[in-house]
Amino acid sequence: MAILGPTSTAEAATAAQLRQPTTAALAAEADDLRAECADHSEANSTTGWVKSRFETCVHQPVSLTLKRANGEILGHLTFDLWVLGFAYDGSRRVDYVSSIENIVPVSVSGGDDPATWVLSQQYSDAVNLGGSGADPVITPPADTLRSALLAEWVAVPQWTVTYTSPDTGGYDPANSQIVAGRITLAMTITSPTAVPWIEPDMAHSDIRFDYAGPVAGKYQGTVFTGARVELQLSLSDPEVEQSARHILDAQQFPERTFPSWTGKTVPGAQEPLHRLTDTAQRDANREQAIKTCKDVWGDYSGTGLECDEYPFASTKERGEDNLRYSARLIDGTDNGKGGNRLNAVYTLNRVLDGDAFYVTIIP
């Protein structure tokens, strides 16, 4: 499958500019994400629903009991927790729009007055040294803690925190300036005589900042690494129907594909593929596929056909010693369109070298 090269110099320069969302734009995105998030049960968890590499949300109904040290119940509290996360293709930045809503306190006889209860949210960051480059830094906002009485949360339920990562100020092909880490939200409820209710991990997300350059599309960006990245092709799409059929056969009917060997399996559907950016290895993978096509179909020059390979030459699952692949002659235009679709998945999702993705064929 052929892949287009990087964007032009002018496009690259434009892409390199930082794009900072306005408050109004962020509010509009938050409203849209909330509407979608409400329909996904995965949101009711610490990791939430990871919609994409650039959007994630947590929506948890919380019910808790406040007690004294002797176990005496002081009261009950229910509320809805929302955390909407936004990463950016074009900026080393991530925003979290956090809110506490539908607060319902219930006091008991002899308990503390709910008007004295204090609810706190504390954000923190941790760098994953193993997944980062040299000297990784995550820069927190000036305020990572909001601690307020319940009435103040009712009056102003929402606040926003922004994390960034510094860079060298320019693109260096030898240094992608990767910073991998985790942002975590902890919460605490206190009252004058209660033992504090503490949850150190109400929500968290794994993020990655990079300055990988044109291989990732825009020169820099931030992603939620927990997102599933998927190339989806349709058998009924006339532009890529032959590419789609080849991939489906390789995934589901490997006995129909070449090279042929007993027990052959091909990854990509349940077992992920991983991007390969080394141009020399990609070229070697492609030459191996072309050799297979010529061995099976002979000289096809001048026919308008091209040798399509799956898994793609741009994946680590291909390799000169790995025969878990299929090569097939398909229409050259179809092959080119399929390559364009793959390249779009790479660049629109900031898929870097070694990143996992899946391939799904639909009717």
Q: Quick one: pLDDT at residue 319?
A: 77
Mean pLDDT of 174-191: 97
Residue 315 carries which DSSP code? B
Mean pLDDT (whole number) for 338-363: 98
Beta bridge partner(s), residue 52: 55
Distance of CA 136 to CAs 60, 88, 131, 166, 312, Å? 32, 19, 10, 9, 32
pLDDT band at 81 (very low <50, low <70, confident <90, very high): very high
Task: Answer yes or no: is pLDDT of 3 > 90.
Answer: no
Question: What local confidence, expressed as pLDDT, does residue 29 receive?
Answer: 87
Quote the pLDDT of residue 109: 87
**pLDDT of 354 over the 60 cut:** yes
Q: In sequence order, what are the beta bridge partners of 99?
A: 82, 158
Q: What is the pLDDT of residue 283?
A: 96
Average pLDDT over residues 341-361: 98
CA nearest to 50, candidates 225, 202, 185: 225
Helices and strands: H and E segment counts in the chain:
6, 15
Q: What is the pLDDT of residue 322?
A: 84
pLDDT at residue 235, rounded to an integer:
98
**Pairing mode of beta strands 158-164, 326-331:** unpaired
Average confidence score pLDDT of the chain: 93
Convert the pLDDT of each residue in 257-281 to its tens digit: 999 999 999 999 999 999 999 999 9
Q: What is the per-residue pLDDT for 332?
A: 98
Distance CA 202, CA 46 (A): 6
Q: What is the pLDDT of residues 96-155, one digit of tens each?
A: 999 999 999 998 988 899 999 999 999 999 999 999 999 999 999 999 999 999 999 999
Q: How far apart are CA 45 and CA 34, in angstroms?
A: 15
From residue 13, alpha-carbon distances to 8, 75, 219, 220 in Å are 9, 58, 8, 11
pLDDT in tens, 322-338: 899 999 999 999 999 99
What pLDDT, in 10s, does the model give residues 51-78? Answer: 999 999 999 999 999 999 999 999 999 9
4, pLDDT greater than 70:
no
The pTM of the full predicted model, rounded to 2 decimals, is 0.91
| For residues 190-206, average pLDDT | 97
The pLDDT tens digits of the residues spanning 37-50 come to 989 999 999 999 99
Percentage of residues of the chain with pLDDT beyond 90: 88
